[in-house]
């Protein structure tokens, strides 16, 4: 199937000249031109023939991959699965060069998609949505942008990404720092030259672990500030062989089916065997094989790694032993392997020479648990025990995940209730797709959906397809408004909680899955941990039964 026969653009052709310009009427407005916004545009415009527009703050498409240009930025999902699968021709014609695609290649891919499906005329760049208010009398959303434009739309769809609102810690003295500082998620497009510089890197999540080895290569000196030690497995990234590329071209349907059925939307399954029922020697051999293979597949070695602490301990001990083996300095090795959470209960990073980097003469490690940051001074970072002199500080401190980007927009629903007020105690919605009190607002990969626990492109496609089918249903049945009922949202919230509690994920108190990385954020486990396959089934059942749990009004 191909979507190439797109109609000509049907959105307002150009930006009205002045602020305060007249209201522009559309069927749907989509916020964000990343993986989700672009696919949603394609579906609404070319399949439902709606008048739809994407509004995007950046000056290019790509979303998260437009902004995250930090050194070493690379996807942890394998390239052949970090792709759209809605069009077999697209899968077959695009050739990824490496097992894990680097940021520039992903951005090229997304630009290719924008061109191939002629999406650009219906994407308004350099424009940020600032506010959206639901007007009950007209059943329209009134959407304001920072360019002074106002849109009136029936459907408002957020495609703002789960990890797009940068979390910059409020450390006293940052404004006085004499050097330069950057957050990895808002990286300068011209790059940063570390040559001859003393660099401080705060954060050892997936991003910090990718960035450290690359920064260390060009910087005069790198100090890694670690608050929480982390597991990481080697990526074993490499160019893709011609045989593998051919395999992908010939197995598109099979790969898609595996991704749709598995817990995390990856193209590999979780083994049926239990870690505890496997003799220790055999177990270690299986871990070793998974370590040599590399990547997130390590999680799939045994079925009980995320549900049984004792099973998890076997994987944790294996990885900690690897860290101690790789890192030569016993003090650094002890700090790096002093990990206090179960393996994969926080998002496990994968790396290229992360632990090896600490064997370099120009790399130091600061244990912030032992010596916390007190302040940033003009000269650098002062911890309880020392002043670390720096020219550049890199914040690899993550994101206000899942809710941050949504709450940056002033969204006001029915009866004047804002999303911020509705979510004061944490996000509450139905299926991660719709919020009670906010009719005709859809949140692609919102909290309450598998989202960040999943390889994102398949989860995005599933959400976009569901939203598209839902809007088609509304139109075909003369329904003007859809909104979840409170009971459905409450029941779903309980399911999200129960799914998390059935795993070890909910026990990690310092996890951003719980909002713990952002001071003052409600501590609520946000993504749905029941598995992508189960979640898909649930969404399909809801649609099949005439959108049970939603109120549909003419
Ligand atoms: O962010 P993180 P990330 N003082 O929140 C530390 C995706 N991603 O950008 O654990 C000192 O995981 C914080 O410490 P702690 C992927 O889903 C995808 O690395 O909170 N330290 C932690 O070490 C990933 O999971 C790809 O105690 C502070 C680090 O900063 C997600 O993005 C590639 C601090 C933040 O780690 C987020 O990863 C890269 C403070 N005040 C990332 N505040 C792909 O492949 C925070 N930290 C698609």
C-alpha closest to that of 458 among 393, 381, 531:
531
CA distance 226 to 368: 6
Q: Whose alpha carbon is nearest atom 41 of ligand 1?
A: 169
Is the CB of 407 within 6 Å of ligand 1? Answer: no
- The CA-atom distances, in angstroms, between 2 and each of 41, 93, 252, 289, 501 are 15, 12, 14, 40, 42
CB 444 within 8 Å of CB 157: yes
Atom nearest to 204 CA in ligand 1: 23
Gap from CA of 250 to ligand 1 centroid (Å): 36
Instruction: Determine whether 34 is exposed, middle or buried from the number of CB atoms within 10 Å of its CB (0-12, 13-18, 19+).
Output: buried
Is the CB of 396 within 6 Å of ligand 1? Answer: yes
Q: What are the pLDDT tens digits along the chain (554 aa)? A: 233 233 334 444 444 444 455 899 999 999 999 999 999 999 999 999 999 999 999 999 999 999 999 999 999 999 999 999 999 999 999 999 999 999 999 999 999 999 999 999 999 999 999 999 999 999 999 999 999 999 999 999 999 999 989 999 999 999 999 999 999 999 999 999 999 999 999 999 999 999 999 999 999 999 999 999 999 999 999 999 999 999 999 999 999 999 999 999 999 999 999 999 999 999 999 999 999 999 999 999 999 999 999 999 999 999 999 999 999 999 999 999 999 999 999 999 999 999 999 999 999 999 999 999 999 999 999 999 999 999 999 999 999 999 999 999 999 999 999 999 999 999 999 999 999 999 999 999 999 999 999 999 999 999 999 999 999 999 999 999 999 999 999 999 999 999 999 999 999 999 999 999 999 999 999 999 999 999 999 999 999 999 999 999 99
CB 516 within 8 Å of CB 510: yes
CA distance 43 to 185: 28
Gap from CA of 418 to ligand 1 centroid (Å): 29
Gap from CA of 347 to ligand 1 centroid (Å): 9
Going edge to edge, which strands form the sheet with 387-389? 373-376, 380-383, 387-389
CB 11 within 8 Å of CB 26: yes
Q: What pLDDT shows up at residue 20?
A: 52
Is the CB of 522 within 6 Å of ligand 1? Answer: no
Tokens 């632990």 correspond to 355
Is the CB of 204 within 6 Å of ligand 1? Answer: yes
Q: Is the dihedral of CA 408, 410, 412, 417 positive or negative?
A: positive
Residues 6+ apart with CB under 8 A from 74: 100, 101, 102, 103, 210, 235, 237
Q: Report the run of H or E that residue 342 belongs to, with start and end.
A: none
CA distance 181 to 196: 16
The number of beta carbons lying within 10 Å of the beta carbon of residue 105 is 17
Is the CB of 206 within 6 Å of ligand 1? Answer: yes
Number of helices followed by number of strands (H, E) in the chain? 16, 20
**Beta strands 380-383 and 387-389: pairing type?**
antiparallel
Is the CB of 368 within 6 Å of ligand 1? Answer: yes
């Amino acid at each position: 199937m191909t979507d190439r026969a797109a109609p000509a653009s049907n959105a307002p052709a150009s930006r009205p000249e002045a602020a305060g310009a007249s209201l522009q009427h559309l069927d749907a407005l989509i916020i964000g031109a990343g993986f989700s916004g672009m696919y949603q545009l394609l579906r609404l415009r070319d399949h439902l023939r709606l008048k739809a527009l994407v509004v995007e703050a950046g000056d290019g498409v790509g979303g998260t991959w437009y902004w995250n240009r930090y050194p070493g930025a690379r996807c942890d999902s394998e390239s052949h699965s970090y792709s759209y699968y809605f069009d077999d021709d697209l899968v077959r014609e695009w050739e990824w060069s490496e097992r894990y695609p680097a940021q520039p290649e992903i951005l090229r891919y997304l630009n290719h998609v924008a061109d191939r499906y002629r999406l650009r005329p219906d994407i308004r760049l350099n424009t940020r949505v600032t506010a959206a208010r639901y007007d009950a009398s007209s059943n329209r959303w009134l959407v304001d942008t920072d360019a002074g434009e106002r849109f009136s739309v029936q459907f408002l769809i957020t495609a703002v990404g789960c990890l797009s609102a940068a979390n910059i810690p409020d450390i006293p003295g940052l404004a006085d720092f004499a050097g330069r500082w950057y957050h990895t998620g808002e990286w300068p497009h011209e790059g940063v030259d570390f040559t001859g510089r003393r660099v401080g890197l705060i954060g050892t999540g997936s991003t910090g672990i990718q960035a450290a080895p690359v920064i260390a290569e060009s910087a005069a000196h790198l100090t890694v500030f670690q608050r929480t030690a982390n597991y990481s497995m080697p990526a074993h990234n490499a160019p893709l062989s011609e045989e593998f590329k051919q395999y992908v071209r010939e197995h598109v349907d099979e790969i898609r089916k595996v991704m749709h059925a598995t817990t995390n939307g990856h193209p590999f399954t979780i083994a049926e065997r239990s870690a505890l029922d496997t003799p220790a020697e055999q177990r270690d051999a299986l871990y070793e094989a998974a370590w040599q293979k590399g990547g997130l597949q390590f999680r799939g070695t045994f079925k009980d790694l995320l549900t049984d602490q004792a099973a998890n301990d076997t994987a944790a001990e294996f990885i900690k032993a690897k860290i101690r083996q790789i890192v030569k300095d016993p003090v650094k090795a002890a700090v790096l392997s002093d990990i206090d959470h179960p393996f994969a209960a926080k998002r496990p990073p994968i790396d290229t020479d992360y632990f090896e980097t600490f064997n370099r003469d120009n790399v130091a490690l600061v244990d912030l648990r032992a010596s916390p940051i007190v302040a940033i001074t003009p000269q650098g970072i002062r911890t309880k025990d020392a002043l670390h002199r720096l020219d550049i500080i890199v914040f690899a401190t993550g994101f206000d995940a899942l809710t941050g980007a949504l709450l940056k927009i002033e969204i006001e629903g029915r009866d004047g209730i804002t999303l911020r007020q509705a979510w004061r105690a944490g996000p509450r919605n139905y299926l991660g797709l719709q919020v009670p009190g906010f009719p005709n607002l859809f949140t692609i990969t919102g909290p309450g959906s598998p989202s960040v626990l999943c390889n994102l492109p398949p989860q995005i496609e599933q959400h976009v397809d569901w939203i598209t089918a839902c809007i088609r249903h509304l139109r075909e049945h003369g329904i003007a408004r859809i909104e979840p009922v409170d009971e459905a949202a409450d029941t779903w919230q309980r399911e999200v909680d129960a799914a998390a509690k059935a795993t070890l994920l909910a026990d990690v108190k310092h996890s951003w899955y719980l909002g713990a990385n952002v001071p003052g954020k409600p501590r609520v486990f946000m993504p749905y941990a029941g598995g992508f396959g189960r979640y898909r089934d649930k969404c399909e059942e809801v649609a099949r039964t005439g959108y049970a749990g939603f109120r549909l009004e003419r």
